[in-house]
Structure 1
Amino acid sequence: MKKVLPFVLLLVAVVLALVFPSVEPVTVADATFDTGDTAWMLVSTALVLLMTPGLAYFYGGMVRKKNVISTMLQSLVCMGLITVLWVIFGFSLAFGEDIGGLIGNPATFFMMKGMLGNQAWPLAPTIPLVLFAMFQLKFAVITPALITGAFAERIRFNSYLIFLCLFMIVIYVPLAHATWHPEGILFQKGVLDFAGGTVVHMSAGWAALASALFLKKRTTPAHTPARVSYVILGTGLLWFGWFGFNAGSAVGAGALAATALATTTTASAAAAMAWIFFDIFRGKKPSAMGACIGAVVGLVAITPAAGFVTVPHSLVIGVVAAVISNLVVLWRTRTNIDDTLDVFPCHGVGGMVGMLLTGVFAHQNVNAGNTTGNGLFYGETKLFLTHLVALVVVSVFAFVGSYILLVITNAISPLRVSAEDEEAGLDLSQHDEEL
């Protein structure tokens, strides 16, 4: 039954596609598309998709040679599985008609219903709804892929696929709805998350910590990265794609997109250099790995703030996030937590730092859509306190929820490979392939 389940799900998707072809156009009176906005969002959607192969190289270069293919495939497969789920009901759960501020109605856009014609998302009225749906899909794709670095080198691939489905349905789409839907509970409370610091990085980071604790340590935790050159390539692809991730979240080709692009550039650059200098300060040699990790931490931290803060403050966010994440990585190495590629210290902690500093440095002059207020730096406390409470709530939800999903997945299909398969490497034991 476990072996035929994926085929059954794929067959169901095909049948649904035949039964619900979604060919009826929908007309919305006040929807006027802008060709410049549409063109930019088409490019941004492609850029964000590129981030997932970039992540595959980033993670793949860090693991041992016998696990490179498996680690890269764990990212790549998200592009297939999450896309199918998103088209059937995922987009509806995230952005469909609100149910209690926590989830969307799965029937609203079931099988991409109503995507023809000139229908638009209320907060993105100048681009087609189908384009907004595909842009948001790329965020849903990369989020669970981020988690894979925590349990790299010891997870069964078939079981991972089950966890992927459960995580998207139970953790990701409720957070996306609560944060980005106009009637979502976090949106209504005034939480600012421009491009996914809460929805993407905090959820993935806490799920990564839960995974590391649940699967426990590898039989031989220490290892030498297979290809540092892959890590450098992956960093370049991630940085490039992140412009679509952050600047694209302005959902238009305007001044706000330009601001987000600028803050993204500077925060990542500052974080990369801060990581290097902090390593030197600690007596370590500056390394390519350190520079790459620092750059990604900066990208993570600026994500929630990109369209709410000024460029000078983005430098501060990058430096602070790099130093804190570096210290958490150091702490993690002194514990029994085997977060293989330090997903929690980098993505989880980086996302939390970015969320809190958004509450410190956000200003309404940067983004008129910020109706909550200015940050703590400007003498106002409401936004910061709102983010502080949201950080606790989201952290508990993501960590506890993910741990429960791991228990459920393990009951359906064991998550951990055998000691023999781990020793042989996941490339051979899970896929019968070699680098």
Structure 2
Amino acid sequence: MNGADTAWIIVATALVLFMTLPGLALFYGGLVRARNVLSVFMQCFAIACLMSVLWLAFGYTIAFGDGNAYWGGLGKAFLNGVGADSLSGTIPEILFFAFQMTFAIITPALIVGAYVERISFGFVMTFSGLWMLLCYAPVVHWIWGGGLLAGGEGALFADAVNDFAGGIVVHETAGLAALVIAVVLGGRRKKNVPPHNPGFVMLGAGMLWVGWFGFNGGSQLAADGGAAMALTVTHLSAATASLTWAAWERIKYGKASLVGMVTGTIAGLASITPASGSVGPIEALIIGGIAGIMCQEMCWVIKEWLNIDDTLDVFAVHGIGGMFGIIMLALFGHASWTAQLGGLVVVGVFTLVVTFVLVKLVALVFPIRVSEEDEITGLDLASHGERAYDHAS
């Protein structure tokens, strides 16, 4: 065990949890109407709790167990055989478990942005738990657990997919799942309502930005120059994407909005995530600069051209951003085109199929959508019996 590596990953684990609670909750909560803000907080918080328990029970062993190329088996269910003295590289395996648990928390939580203001809480919890175990955890095993896409003997491609911190594992899977749910669920009754609290959105984005240092820097699993470079390029991509989003917004509409600029921040962070272990500062500027404009245009494509109410732009920002970063790794010569594109396709098809099947199955037990009356009232009161403000609009 290396003490410095262990100390850094303990910090990184806290930072990644901080991304969901309270970062993502505030970011998403500020974007919805006042009558639905507590429902978003509740969804993010409850998902964090449920994923933690499920990751202990079955998620970790499916992702990192000693199974086969397709899944890790059940040998490490409930951390069987993992104690305080067990090592994973230079850090305690229990710490590696905890670090990866925070990834398993934020990935289904990202999907929340696609279905806010109109979905039943029972559906959210059941779907999120099953999706993490049956979609997310196997993909983790394929890429990070030595499985199907990790290269070498028995793998689909000779070269390993280069996905340092989750362009495919986190962002593509969450983005595509969000798209499927948005299509099946249908749009809100009242669209194009301004965010009720842009200040929350900015605070949440700031927390996500800081937390992302643990997300990407921690993925080095060591306290070394690689972690420092990952942290630095993460910051540079986020800063550049924020500026290009705001500049493009001003060119198009005459004004640059706060909500737009911080959404650009998230686009830059998602795009650099898979590349942060390989690229340098100049490449990070290029990735972030393009992401700020590309993801903004994709928001229009999804909502206006395709008429899909992916309410808080999960696919356009996270899905497109993460996949873009995967492709840029091949373009910059840091990875094989075959592995990168092949990984995107294999995981993409798997995610679409598993998500669609789960949505249909869970909807047989829990209604996917709340009643029209509850949607008008707002989910804060209708689903949770609480209200964030005296006069919620």
Tell me which interval the TM-score lies in, with the shorter structure as reference length: over 0.9
Structure 1 CA distance for aligned equivalents of residues 80 and 348 of structure 2: 33
Distance in 2, Cα, partners of 1:292 & 1:35: 36
Amino acid in the other structure paired with 1:417: V
1:134-213 aligned at under 5 Å gives the runs 134-182=98-146, 184-188=147-151, 189=157, 190-213=160-183
Deviations 1:186-208 (A, max 9, x none): 11231011011111010000000
**Counterpart Cα distance in 2 of 1:218 and 1:79:** 25
Where has structure 1 moved over 6 Å in runs of 4 or more?
none
Query: Which residue pairs with 2:4 in the alignment?
Result: 36
Q: Work out whether 1:390 is the aligned partner of 2:343.
A: yes
Q: Percent identity?
A: 42
Q: Secondary structure at 1:330's aligned position in 2? A: helix
Alpha carbons of structure 1 residues 211 and 284: separation in structure 2 relative to 1, 3 Å: farther
Give the corresponding residue for 2:65.
96
Counterpart pick for 1:358 among 329, 332, 338: 329
Residue correspondences, number = 379
Of residues 132-141 and 108-117 in structure 1, the stretch that sits farther from structure 2 once superposed is 108-117
**What residue in structure 1 maps to residue 274 of structure 2?**
304
Q: Which runs of 5+ in 2 are unaligned?
A: 152-156, 389-393
Please give the alpha-carbon distance, in whole angstroms, between the structure 2 residues aligned to 1:319 and 1:394. 26
Q: Which moved more, 1:188-197 or 1:207-216?
A: 188-197
CA distance in 1, matches of 2:189, 2:47: 27
Q: Which amino acid is the alignment partner of residue 286 of structure 1?
A: A
Deviation at 1:38, TM superposition (A): 0.4
Aligned-pair CA distance for 1:284:
3.6
Displacement of 1:256 after TM fit? 0.5
Identify the match of residue 45 of structure 1 among 13, 17, 32.
13
Cα distance in 2 for partners of 1:232, 1:170 equals 33
Aligned-pair CA distance for 1:224: 1.8
User: In the alignment, which of 313, 319, 331 is matched to residue 348 of structure 1?
Assistant: 319
Give the AA of the match of 2:215: F
- Asked if 1:408 corresponds to 2:371, the answer is no
**Alpha-carbon shift at residue 117 of structure 1 (Å):** 4.4
Question: Which residue identity lines up with residue 317 of structure 2 in the other structure?
Answer: C
**Counterpart of 1:336 in 2: which secondary structure?**
coil
Q: Which moved more, 1:209-218 or 1:280-289?
A: 280-289
Name the TM-score, length of structure 1 as normaliser.
0.86
Residue among 18, 28, 32 paired with 1:63: 32
1:119-172 deviations in Å (ceiling 9; x for gaps): 222xxx110000000000000000000001000100000111110111011110
Cα distance, 1:116 vs structure 2: 1.6
Q: Are the counterparts in 1 of residues 171 and 319 from structure 2 also a CA contact under 8 Å?
A: yes
Show the counterpart of 2:154. Answer: none
CA–CA distance in structure 1, aligned partners of residues 240 and 82 of structure 2? 41
Indicate whether 1:227 and 2:197 are aligned: yes
**Structure 2 residue 245 is the aligned partner of structure 1 residue 275:** yes
Q: Does 1:81 align with 2:50?
A: yes
Structure 2: distance between partners of 1:257 and 1:337:
38
Corresponding residue for residue 391 of structure 2:
none
Q: Which moved more, 1:324-333 or 1:147-156?
A: 324-333
Contact 2:48–2:109 (Cα < 8 Å) also in 1: no
Counterpart for residue 420 of structure 1: 373
For normalisation by structure 2, the TM-score amounts to: 0.95
Q: Any gaps of 5 or more consecutive residues in structure 1?
A: 1-32, 363-373, 376-382
Higher-Rg member (1/2) = 1
Tell me how far 1:98 sits from its aligned partner: 2.3
